[in-house]
Structure 1
Amino acid sequence: MAAAPSGRGAREQRHPHDTADEALVRAVFNEHGRAMLAYATVLTGDRPAAEDVLHQALIHAWRHPACLAGDRTAVRWRLLRVVRDLASERSPATSRLNLAAR
């Protein structure tokens, strides 16, 4: 069975062995992963730490699918807020950065 493109474009393809959960996480990553990773990298200053934050944020999205409700922009902002919160938990320096930005 070949992977068929979803309604949002060829980037988001359903892989034949994906469970519904895997498909959800893959769709979130395909749609928002680059922005989430870029933001996490800025906040942490460290690519490996940013990747950890991204993984934690994807797990959060999987556990709390309500955060994925709404239009693309609203979902993106919610996910970036999760990234910010997770990054600030990791590093006191990031916490200071977030407090200064508020």
Structure 2
Amino acid sequence: MEERKNISNRSHNVVLENRKKMSVSGVEHVTSFSPDIIILVTVQGNITIKGEELDIKKLNLDDGNLSIEGYISSIVYSDKEDIGSKGISFLGKMFK
């Protein structure tokens, strides 16, 4: 397996408690936030969190910690390189 490039020395952890509370470390940036979806950039890639009544209770980008409450229905990782390709249509990808 090929080693990942440009991974920061920061640690990254995700703790989910009863699908109602979530703690994430290694957060670099919050890209998007709404009661239904939160998109984060972490040292290990992007995380998309979907759910209901999602609320960021604590955010400290200096130490990279984030706490979320609400009903969490999905957590999906994607690579940092995928940020630029989101939102591009099928035809846009073909003629890239």
Q: Select the structure that is richer in helix.
A: 1
Structure 1 length as normaliser, TM-score? Answer: 0.23
Q: Select the structure that is richer in strand.
A: 2
